[in-house]
Structure 1
Amino acid sequence: MCRQASTILGPILLVCSVTSDILRPNGPRTCLAESGCLQGRYFTSPNGTQYEAYLGVPYARPPVGELRFKNPQPVEPWTGNYNATFERAKCVQKNDLEPNASVEGSEDCLYMNVYKPQLSKNPDKPLAVLVYIHGGGYFAGSASQGEFGPDRFMDTGEVIVVVMQYRLGVFGFLSTGDEFASGNFGLKDQNAVLRWVQKNIAQFGGDPTLVTLFGQSAGGSSVQMHMMSPLSKGLFSRAVIMSGSALGFWHRPVENPLKMAQEQAAAVGIDSPSAMSSEELVQALRQVDALELGRSIDKLKFWHIYPLVFWRPVVEKYVDSATFISEDPRTLWANGAYHQIPWRIGYVPNEGAFASLSLITNKTLIDDLNKHADSYIPRMFGCKEDEKSRRMLRQRFFPDGTDEQWITEKNFKQLQDLFSEAFITFPITLSVKQHISKGTEKRTPFDIYYFSFKGNHSYSKYFAQTDLDFGVCHSDDLSYLYRAKALFKDFKPNSPELAMATKLVDYYVQFAYNGVTNDACSGDCVVQEFTKSGDPDKPVKIQINKAFDEEMFAFWREIYNM
């Protein structure tokens, strides 16, 4: 049986599933520690490496009915074989980064994909484990094998890869600020995956003491949150933050989650939500159809798709044994109150592409943004709507614009830099600078990478719906780690792209086993840049550069009054 499913960026892939009563008898089978067994299937990478795939593995009960807006609950054990030969539905979402986005997915979505090389490079030793959290601004994404194919990791024969799904948007992050909806359900879903790995990964030949948690964009921000959460302590031993940060303006904890929950209720037509108790409000929202609830995000925006990240993590006021985080993550990170494990952080040149390209390729949107620039632009980037913010933003990004027209044909590409700095590069720099302020004796080793390799594939094709060249964009490094067969053609043999993929995958595998071998700031702070070499015999290289743009950092510290 075949069904259609879409990736985070929109293209349709065909997923052929095997029904639960028709299992392949020659497929791999692994029995779990506290449940039944998983019946998987084999795949073969383009290099001819065969690997085991366990698709659609449940790690929590479906969060439907009375379990909507509740912490993840353990899966009920089963007997016999569970059909892990096909992927399950993505979580309910409306991906506003897609043109003409519609609501899709299911509430029954708490599943993951587990991949293991059939032949281990070191058969006498357990394998390191890489647990991946997808991005998507906490409102979109999935574990789709078409986007996150593990083939290159499997080719190494050295690691197990786990790719998870977690609740998104209102389903993952609504909170009333009390015990009736504590919030952070999406992050707690991720935590449930880490707990599942600790209990079960040894059954797959994995080492529970060598778990690397890594993620990109909001997935990277999630990794940083897990580094600060007492609930996740001891569940992973390495961390990689890719193109994201929990210190960004878009990640600021919601100040009044109950008010947001009331606004959400009003958006779906619930009468007088402000007059309801928290318990009544949550119960009323549980009765709303899931797709209607997901679609209502449109009524909570002030312009176009902004604020881009409406539902996000909160500081939990109701504290119990399942609390994910009860203090402001900005304070925790600044004080060094996070798990002391080796970590890595990385970014690319055009981080803002995920949102800027859909604007700069749409004249109607640019014209409308210009009409309201004084109000919209500061608000879009978490700045005060005052004269100082307007002046600073104008001078740095649109100096040749006018009061009536900030954005012109000559400077419209500056929107890319504005998105890049505000959303990604400033909070990454802040994360690093606050870490190194502790001094070498009080901090764990870490390193920084910068991915500037320009290959034939770019996610800009999906962000902008055009083949124009916008440089190395947000998410482009993912196409070298994962085989994204639903999005891009495979790299050609002996190509520079394949050489870079091999180098980048090895960079991650070595980190999974050895952690950080050279602290990025033991002397002057440096970044390892993955780039082209200009040498046809050795087409890729890693070079060392200065890590920080101090002018950029000073600008955003001033505008945010930090």
Structure 2
Amino acid sequence: MASLLCTKNFKAPGSHGYICLLCPGFLSTGDQSAKGNYGLLDLIQSLRWTSENIAAFGGDPLRITVFGSGAGASCVNLLTLSHYSEGNRWSNSTKGLFQRAIAQSGSALSSWAVSFQPAKYARMLARKVGCNLEDTLELVSCLQKKQYKELVDQDIQPARYHIAFGPVIDGDVIPDDPQILMEQGEFLNYDIMLGVNQGEGLKFVELIVDNENGVQANDFDYAVSSFVDDLYGYPEGKDILRETIKFMYTDWADRHNPETRRKTLLALFTDHQWVAPAVATADLHSSFGSPTYFYAFYHHCQTEQVPPWADAAHGDEIPYVFGLPMIGPTELFPCNFSKNDVMLSAVVMTYWTNFAKTG
């Protein structure tokens, strides 16, 4: 049976979460003035339309699969936890708006999946564009009158590894902390496939240290210390945590090799930001006996934009999912695709479409 692919234009995530481009879709004042999650509601409305109308295009409304990568994957995961996805109140369907989900390099448990201080960043944005900060109704009204470009041009910097504007726990669309919802089995009715790339954390390594010839010992220590400081606000236990991470992410058989340090530092960022949340999500989903599939992607195309030592980085699976090696390089993916790339892409597309068809 042939498959149909429907796409919803979605506001782009930054390399480490959401940039201000997402503030119109996810701005929240934490109260009734702007509850937030408008981006998720937009996706839900698109799924409602698809569920009601896809049969007219030869599709099956009872076999709909949603998928996304990065921030899109975390949104996909959040949709599986929302009661808004459970059924279509405009039709007689009780099967939900979709039945399967693919989360590529992202999870609702990622530190950048949910904004836990939305009001703080809403006021920060309002201050930058000259809006009243005291009354949230006036704040929202003022922001609505601003030109779109003025809003997206503002540099709103969240705490590292977190987001300023994104989905929020509003007690409605997202009723509780994603971890709690997963432990309660809120997403057990969906077949889920999720996975990660081998070197997701490449950008973090590139930004922190001069890594062309590997990572020196002092740079490694500084990177680990900064990692702990950025993630954990309490001073108690930080020293023990730093030393534990250094011990766990030191290759003791080759500990004086700068290239080995670079590899283990990449593994640290990849594990924390992508692997651990994805594995935890898969474990929680499978614990209820729900169909759960996990992949690890190790390949990347040849391009001058990626250092020769890099593994498959964040987003490197995307061209293979959409068959780009069969078409050729694009501006977004300027790759030198080989015959092996074409063959791999055919295999990946088969896996993805087979999951969409049968779970």
Q: What are the Cα deviations for residues 26-63 of structure 1, in whole angstroms up to 9, with x where unaligned? A: xxxxxxxxxxxxxxxxxxxxxxxxxxxxxxxxxxxxxx
- Residue 448 of structure 1, aligned match among 294, 308, 311: 294
Matched, 1:506 2:326: no
Q: What are the Cα deviations for residues 71-110 of structure 1, in whole angstroms up to 9, with x where unaligned? A: xxxxxxxxxxxxxxxxxxxxxxxxxxxxxxxxxxxxxxxx
> After the TM superposition, which residues 414-493 of structure 1 pair with which residues of structure 2 at under 5 Å, given as runs?
414-438=264-288, 443-452=289-298, 454=299, 456-457=301-302, 465-482=305-322, 483=324, 485-486=330-331, 487-489=333-335, 491-492=337-338
Distance 1:285 1:369 in 2: 42
Deviation at 1:333, TM superposition (A): 0.7
- Residue 309 of structure 1, aligned match among 135, 157, 163: 163
- Residue 333 of structure 1, aligned match among 168, 172, 182: 182
> After the TM superposition, which residues 74-223 of structure 1 pair with which residues of structure 2 at under 5 Å, given as runs?
127-131=2-6, 138-139=13-14, 168-223=21-76
Task: Say whether the 8 Å CA contact 2:71–2:113 is kept in structure 1.
Answer: no
**Aligned residue type for 1:212:** T
Q: What are the Cα deviations for residues 175-204 of structure 1, in whole angstroms up to 9, with x where unaligned? A: 112221111122222212212212332232
**Aligned residue type for 1:263:** M
SS in 2 for 1:213: strand
SS in 1 for 2:284: helix
SS in 1 for 2:296: strand
> If the length of structure 2 is used for normalisation, what is the TM-score?
0.79
> Which residue number in structure 1 is paired with residue 125 of structure 2?
264
> Which residue number in structure 1 is paired with residue 261 of structure 2?
411
> If the length of structure 1 is used for normalisation, what is the TM-score?
0.53
Q: Aligned pair in 2 of structure 1 residues 361, 236: CA closer, same or farther (>3 Å)? A: farther
SS in 1 for 2:62: strand
> Which residue number in structure 1 is paired with residue 80 of structure 2?
227
Task: Say whether the 8 Å CA contact 1:374–1:390 is kept in structure 2.
Answer: yes
Q: Aligned pair in 2 of structure 1 residues 498, 472: CA closer, same or farther (>3 Å)? A: same
Distance 1:376 1:260 in 2: 23
Task: Say whether the 8 Å CA contact 2:118–2:164 is kept in structure 1.
Answer: no
**Aligned residue type for 2:265:** L
Task: Say whether the 8 Å CA contact 2:37–2:173 is kept in structure 1.
Answer: yes
**Aligned residue type for 1:218:** A
RMSD (Å), alpha carbons: 3.4
> Which residue number in structure 2 is paired with residue 242 of structure 1?
104
Q: What are the Cα deviations for residues 151-180 of structure 1, in whole angstroms up to 9, with x where unaligned? A: xxxxxxxxxxxxxxxx94322221112221
Q: Aligned pair in 2 of structure 1 residues 197, 472: CA closer, same or farther (>3 Å)? A: same
SS in 2 for 1:345: strand
- Residue 242 of structure 2, aligned match among 390, 393, 409: 390
Structure number with the higher strand fraction is: 1
> Which residue number in structure 1 is paired with residue 145 of structure 2?
287
**Aligned residue type for 2:63:** L
Deviation at 1:448, TM superposition (A): 1.3
Deviation at 1:292, TM superposition (A): 2.7
Distance 2:74 2:141 in 1: 30
Deviation at 1:266, TM superposition (A): 2.1
Distance 2:263 2:315 in 1: 19
Q: Aligned pair in 2 of structure 1 residues 417, 170: CA closer, same or farther (>3 Å)? A: same
Greater RCO (CA < 8 Å, at least 6 residues apart): 2
SS in 1 for 2:293: strand
- Residue 351 of structure 1, aligned match among 200, 212, 217: 200
Q: Aligned pair in 2 of structure 1 residues 380, 310: CA closer, same or farther (>3 Å)? A: farther
SS in 1 for 2:282: helix
> Which residue number in structure 1 is paired with residue 255 of structure 2?
none
SS in 2 for 1:427: helix
Unaligned 5+ runs, structure 2:
87-95, 253-257
Deviation at 1:278, TM superposition (A): 1.6
Identity over aligned residues, as a percent?
28
**Aligned residue type for 2:312:** V
> Which residue number in structure 1 is paired with residue 90 of structure 2?
none
Task: Say whether the 8 Å CA contact 2:114–2:169 is kept in structure 1.
Answer: no
Structure showing greater radius of gyration is: 1
Deviation at 1:135, TM superposition (A): 9.0
**Aligned residue type for 1:316:** D
Matched, 1:277 2:139: no
